[in-house]
Every structure is written in C-alpha cells, then in structure tokens.
C-alpha cells in the first residue's frame, strides 16, 4: 500500500450522471484530487454511467477535458495512471434495462477481486433517485455497497417520505451517504473545535451571551446553465432546507457525547428537531430582475432566487435568539459565512459600540475565523472603536486542507458517515419548512447586484444584517 492511500479492499466507484454538470464541476475534479494526494486505494476503478454509447477512450477524453476546464489540470497529476482506471458503461441503467453496467462491473470485479467495495454516486437530478435505487436492488448491486445521494434528498415533504421509503427497501441506513457539501467545509468543521476546545466560547455559547446568529450565502452568479433544475427548485429548496439549515444545526447543537459518527449525527439531528416551524411572515422571497428572460425560464415564473428567513430554536440554550438566514442569486457579493453576534455588556462603565463583538467564520475556500472586538482607540482620550483579529485556516501550521467534495468523497471511501445527514434530521427539516411551502409569500423583485428585496432588512430589526447593510 502506498503512503496515505485508503486502507481496505479495492474500490469500484460508479458515477451515475458521469457526463452531467455536477460530475464535471465537482465529482470528477474531487476524485482526481484524491488520486493526486494518494488518498485512493492502490487498486480502484471509476466507472462512468450514462445513456450515451460512449467508449472507454471517449470517456477518458471527456474526463481529461473536464479537468482542463475545472481543474486540477491533468498535467499536474498522475494522469496516465488515473486514466487507465477509467471505464464507461453506456445505455443508461434502470430496473428494466441495466445497459452495459452489469458487464462493466463484472469485468471490474474480475480485475480487482470479488472483495471489491462498490460505491455508487448518484450525480443525477433528484427525480432519478428512486428509479436508480430500485435498479441497484433488482440487479444485485446494492448488497454491501455504499450509495451517495446528492441534495436535495427529496423535493417536498411527501417526496422525501417516498424517497426515504424507497431507499430503505433496498439499503440499510449504514449504507446511505446523503451529501451536503457545506458540512465538508473546513470552517464548518472548525466550529466544533472552536466552540468545544476553547472555554472563551464554550462557556458563552447560549442566549445569555449571544444576541443573534446570521448565516449568509449570497452569490453574484446567475443560474448558469441550470435553468431547468433551478426553476423547478428555487432558493428555498436549493439552499435553505439543505445547506443553511444544516449549518445552523452545527452552530446550535448540544455538545455531542463524542466526535464519533453516531454521536455527532445525533447531536446535529436532535437540534434540528428543536427548530420552530417557519412562520411565513418571517420569510422574504425574491426574484432578481431579468430572471424570466433567461432561456429555459417560463415568462411567468414565480420561482424564488432569494430567500431570507428569521428562525428560532425552541430549547433552553437558544430560546429568544433569532437565527437569520439569507441566500440569493445575482446579489451584490459572493460569500458564505456564519456570524455569532455577541450581546453588549450591561455593566460596562462606558457606551459600548453596537455589534462590537462578533465571531465570524468564513466558509469560503479553506475558511477563516474573524473575531471583531471593541478596543480603545490609541490616543490621549478614551475613545472606543472596533477592530478585527483574523485567522486564515489554510495558513495554520501543518495545514493541508481538503475541498469539501474531496473531503466527503474520502469519507465515503473510508466509511465515515459523520458529515452526512440522517433521515430523522431531514424529516424534522421538512417539518420546519412545511408552513412556508403551504403558504408561500410572493417573490418580490430585486435589482441584480443588490442585497435582495428591501423587506429582508426588516427581519433583522431592531438590529441589522452585518453583511451589505
């Protein structure tokens, strides 16, 4: 076994939707990064699956072109060895017709050995999850395999329950990896260490010391070439019920009994159950000007491209603390950050600037931790000002950060489910969002390059959004 390689049996990684947008932008680059960093087993194969009649060599060229476009550049890594491990199984895959996949998997097992670990990655639209899962069961590719489901895991509460039932008819829960790449971000994981390993924060992580929590993920990007997917999904389903609510649970969870997968998942999912069902009057939806002019978008589309919500956690630790969440397309800036806004001291012998104490974790890139503090302005007088101290996680001694998809795929390969969601937490998440789905406010227009509809500012009253206001 080479240095740093994944221990255990050989792996056959079956990538459904291998020529689609998600595979090109995220999964294939992540898998090649693992190869570069020697975090794959000595013996592995990647099998792409799709409807087209694509040869192995044509798929290798597709992967090469993908890496040239999205990185890491193939010339920078072990391309010859990596490309020799690529296969393609065309003809699609369904219960009625397995296409070429059974033959290609059989050849892979003959090459690598019968003890090969199968990993199926469903980089396909959610509408395809149930059919592919049933086909895995029918064609005997499910036993002892690991199956990765992209978000959203369900498109409505009813669809979630239908999908969850279909998955558990074929797979044991221990085989299921529901991916949410925000949980794989370095700064998200650093929340645990920052909070639990530092008494400065561990003793003040509650409503007595924290005034609000703000989770912001604005994007300057438009919907790119995802018009069909996005118009059927929108910001609420694409971001709020998935990424933002999961990050909120990371902030709000009670200390887990251990950092083991079961204990960490339980702490995260239990606190999601404490989130109060959304009050639609505490939600602002928006749609950026010009959205309906995008090719593939209906001229009368009401899809939300922006959502801001004020949410509440009904437990002793957080009661009365607003969790403010905001995300949208074509906004004034792009970032991903969590801001813990500390309460001003009530017994200070001078006037303390509002929002002078803020702990911010930037989730973008390798992550940063910023602590905003009130200090004396140097000089003869006693003038107070606010300044920041910053820690760039990628510059910490010994840092070797993995991008989120790289980290999460690596966890799948070693069988670590710590950073993957569970059905009980997702059921609670859908219960939280249900009132909004039943009584959706109209999406308000907002100019491209703005911070969304003006009404969103009112959700933070009597305070303010820290970003962009």
Report the catalytic residues.
243
Torsion, CA 421, CA 424, CA 427, CA 431, rounded to 10: -110
- Cβ neighbourhood burial of 395 (10 Å; 0-12, 13-18, 19+): exposed
Contact assessment for residue 204 and residue 210, using Cβ atoms and an 8 Å cutoff = yes
Interatomic CA distance for residues 51 and 16, integer angstroms: 10
Residue in 403, 324, 387 with CA at minimum distance from that of residue 27: 403
**Those residues with Cβ within 8 angstroms of residue 168's Cβ, 6 or more apart along the chain or in another chain:** none
Give CA separation, 24 vs 64, 154, 159, 230, 420, in Å. Answer: 10, 23, 27, 18, 22
- Here the tokens at position 86 are 């690529």
Give CA separation, 327 vs 244, 330, 398, in Å. Answer: 9, 10, 33
Interatomic CA distance for residues 40 and 10, integer angstroms: 9
Interatomic CA distance for residues 269 and 417, integer angstroms: 13
Interatomic CA distance for residues 457 and 161, integer angstroms: 35
Contact assessment for residue 387 and residue 375, using Cβ atoms and an 8 Å cutoff = yes
Interatomic CA distance for residues 374 and 325, integer angstroms: 25
User: Element (H or E) spanning 307, and its range?
Assistant: strand 306-311
* Count of all residues that appear for the chain in the document: 469
What SS3 state is found at 355? coil
Interatomic CA distance for residues 406 and 296, integer angstroms: 32
Contact assessment for residue 215 and residue 326, using Cβ atoms and an 8 Å cutoff = yes
Interatomic CA distance for residues 113 and 170, integer angstroms: 24
């Amino acid at each position: 076994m080479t240095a740093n390689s994944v221990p255990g049996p050989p792996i056959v990684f079956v990538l459904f939707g291998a020529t689609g947008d998600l595979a090109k932008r995220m999964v294939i680059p992540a898998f090649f990064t693992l190869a570069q960093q020697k975090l794959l087993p000595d013996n592995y194969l990647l099998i792409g699956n799709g409807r087209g009649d694509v040869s192995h060599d044509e798929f290798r060229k597709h992967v090469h072109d993908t890496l040239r476009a999205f990185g890491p550049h193939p010339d920078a890594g072990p391309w010859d060895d990596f490309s020799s491990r690529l296969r393609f199984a065309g003809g699609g895959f369904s219960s009625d017709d397995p296409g070429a996949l059974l033959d290609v998997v059989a050849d892979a097992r003959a090459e690598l050995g019968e003890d090969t670990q199968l990993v199926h990655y469903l980089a396909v639209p959610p509408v395809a999850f149930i059919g592919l899962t049933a086909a895995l069961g029918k064609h005997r590719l499910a036993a002892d395999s690991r199956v990765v489901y992209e978000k959203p895991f369900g498109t409505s509460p009813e669809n979630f329950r239908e999908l969850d039932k279909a998955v558990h008819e074929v797979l044991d829960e221990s085989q299921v990896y529901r991916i949410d790449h925000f949980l794989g971000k370095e700064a998200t994981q650093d929340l645990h260490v920052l909070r639990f390993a530092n008494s400065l924060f561990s003793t003040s992580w509650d409503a007595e010391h924290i005034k609000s929590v703000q989770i912001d993920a604005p994007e300057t990007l438009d919907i790119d070439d995802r018009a069909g997917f996005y118009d059927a999904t929108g910001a609420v389903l694409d971001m709020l019920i998935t990424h933002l609510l999961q990050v909120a649970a990371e902030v709000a969870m009670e200390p887990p009994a251990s950092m083991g997968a079961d204990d960490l998942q339980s702490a995260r999912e239990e606190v999601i159950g404490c989130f109060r069902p959304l009050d639609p009057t505490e939600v602002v939806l928006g749609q950026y000007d010009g959205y309906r002019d995008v090719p593939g978008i209906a001229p009368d589309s009401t899809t939300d491209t922006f959502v801001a919500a004020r949410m509440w956690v009904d437990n002793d630790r957080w009661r009365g603390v607003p969790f403010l969440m905001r995300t949208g397309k074509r906004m004034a800036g792009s970032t991903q950050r969590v801001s813990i806004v500390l309460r001003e001291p009530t017994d200070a012998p001078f006037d303390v600037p509002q929002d002078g104490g803020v702990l911010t974790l930037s989730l973008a890139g390798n992550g940063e931790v910023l602590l905003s503090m009130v200090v004396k302005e140097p000089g003869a007088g006693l003038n107070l000002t606010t300044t920041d101290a910053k820690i760039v996680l990628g510059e910490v001694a010994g840092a070797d950060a993995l991008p989120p998809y790289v980290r999460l795929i690596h966890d799948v390969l070693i069988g670590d489910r710590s950073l993957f969601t569970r059905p009980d937490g997702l059921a609670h998440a859908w219960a939280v969002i249900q009132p909004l789905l039943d009584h959706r406010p109209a999406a308000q227009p907002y100019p491209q390059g703005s911070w969304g509809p003006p009404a969103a500012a009112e959700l933070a009253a009597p305070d303010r959004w820290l970003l962009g206001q």
